[in-house]
Amino acid sequence: MTATLACSPTTGPTFTGLRCKECGHPYEAGARHVCEDVCFGPLEVVYDYEAIKARVSRATIEAGPASIWRYRDFLPIAGDPIDVGTGFTPLLKANNLAKRLGLKSLYIKNDGVNMPTLSFKDRVVSVALTRARELGFSTVSCASTGNLANSTAAIAAHAGLECCVFIPSDLELGKVLGTLIYNPTLMAVRGNYDQVNRLCSEVANTFGWGFVNINLRPYYSEGSKTLGYEVIEQLGWQLPDHIVAPLASGSLFTKIRKGFDEFIKVGLVDEKPVRFSGAQAEGCSPIAQAFAEGRDFITPVKPNTIAKSIAIGNPADGPYAIDIANRTGGQIAAVNDAEIIDGIKLLAETEGVFTETAGGTTIAVLKKLVEAGQINPEETTVAYITGNGLKTTEAVAPAIGEPYLIDAQLESFKQAWQQAQHAH
């Protein structure tokens, strides 16, 4: 067991504490995530936006490093960050996919090539482990559907922190291998993610560890705001008209919105309406179901989908995601596993981007919304791709054909080439 140190920096240059998102009750910025004195609502970081406004401009940000730390005044850290080059991933103008779908202006924010572990989770973990170190933790942990385990193990290795992570036992091999290589202690739990998450909350009660998505969650989740900032900056300091992002816990979705709102608040970008649409897999779609039924509360489900990275049946930020979709005129839709595989293939064939199942879900929902007339072809639309396809090869392996096996002879190639012409 590892206890926290007594001396913890509870403020930073631009943040002053924590506050309950529901009732507003204030707390010191320690390792805590719920409003324990009143309502158990989620805690959020409180910033001094006047201080941020005085410190940042487009020019200061542009002069910063090509990573999330160019936005460090908007992130809840007190000192120097753990910088593993996370963030500032490509925003790709997706002309081929746009043409295929009938859109005029489509972009892919490609966090499948984020550093160091090829998913957006590197953003949240970079922030969480920086804060974990500041709060005196020497062991860090998480409940993960795979990508988070990869990221926590990798960045903990770089930072010299002890690491014990928890995953469901049925994850894809790439996600398991991509964690074990960093030599953490890896617990594969017999059960689904929601059971893993519940177990981790119990472990967090008795082990003095920094769980990035439990007692460090207020800091961790702020890392996702950088996906909002980067898109604004990469669009030439403009907001898009519509974004589509995958929904697991709903946290990413709410933090992209917060990132947009903060840049508006400090005057870095002109305000305009942005529609927020969310993507779920039918086999785990508690947020889409609640949205469709006009509910503001989530009824949990038991996941059954190939999209394991977003298979959260009891999503913590589901109600907030629904609120954002409703307020912005967006949609929350679900697609089945076959559509998800088609989405992965469509993005790869049209744009050269190989995403995992969560990205396939996003592209499939994008397609579905366009076909339903819910995305205006004139809108500048950004689809968030959050993970890399090489981690979930099992999902697509049966659906992508095989190579032509030939001899090293011209005639053998010619025969195969003829076959290939017929096949295509």
Partner 1 sequence: MAVQVLIPTPLQKFTNDEASVSLEASSIDALIDALDGRFPGFKARLCDENGKLRRFLNIYVNSEDIRFLDNQSTPLSPGDEVSIVPAVAGG
Given the rule CB under 8 A, which residues bind partner 1?
22, 32-36, 39-42, 143, 191, 193-195, 197-198, 200-202, 204-206, 213-214, 217, 221, 248-252, 297, 299-300, 302, 312, 314-317
Residue 120 carries which DSSP code?
T
Please count the residues of the chain.
Answer: 424
User: Would you say 292 and 346 are in contact if contact means Cβ atoms under 8 Å apart?
Assistant: no
Please state the closest distance from residue 219 (CB atom) to partner 1, in A.
14
Beta-sheet pairing, 185-189 with 139-143: unpaired
Distance CA 227, CA 327 (A): 20
Tokens found for residue 226: 């950088």
First to last CA, the chain: 59
Check the CA dihedral 327-334-195-296 and report its sign.
positive
Coil, strand or helix at 105: strand
Distance CA 135, CA 253 (A): 27
Distance CA 367, CA 292 (A): 18
93: which residues sit within 8 A by CB, 6+ positions away? Answer: 106, 107
Please state the closest distance from residue 234 (CB atom) to partner 1, in A.
25
Please state the closest distance from residue 207 (CB atom) to partner 1, in A.
11
CA distances in angstroms from 217 to 31, 78, 86, 222, listed in the order given:
9, 16, 18, 8
**Cβ distance to partner 1 smaller for residue 22 or 379:** 22
**Nearest to residue 287, comparing CAs of 274, 303, 300, 275?**
300
**Cβ distance to partner 1 smaller for residue 206 or 409:** 206
User: Would you say 59 and 214 are in contact if contact means Cβ atoms under 8 Å apart?
Assistant: no
**Cβ distance to partner 1 smaller for residue 68 or 287:** 287
**Cβ distance to partner 1 smaller for residue 192 or 355:** 192
328: which residues sit within 8 A by CB, 6+ positions away? Answer: 257, 273, 274, 275, 276
Residue 284 carries which DSSP code?
B
Please state the closest distance from residue 116 (CB atom) to partner 1, in A.
21
**Nearest to residue 199, comparing CAs of 169, 248, 166, 153?**
166
Tokens found for residue 178: 């991509």
User: Would you say 4 and 135 are in contact if contact means Cβ atoms under 8 Å apart?
Assistant: yes
Please state the closest distance from residue 102 (CB atom) to partner 1, in A.
33
Amino acid at the residue 263 = F
Reported as type and span, the H/E element at residue 195 is helix 193-206
**Cβ distance to partner 1 smaller for residue 216 or 239:** 216
Amino acid at the residue 292 = A
Please state the closest distance from residue 35 (CB atom) to partner 1, in A.
8
**Cβ distance to partner 1 smaller for residue 97 or 312:** 312
372: which residues sit within 8 A by CB, 6+ positions away? Answer: none
Please state the closest distance from residue 196 (CB atom) to partner 1, in A.
8
**Cβ distance to partner 1 smaller for residue 273 or 300:** 300
Please state the closest distance from residue 124 (CB atom) to partner 1, in A.
9
Torsion of CA 174, 179, 180, 186, to 10 degrees: -120
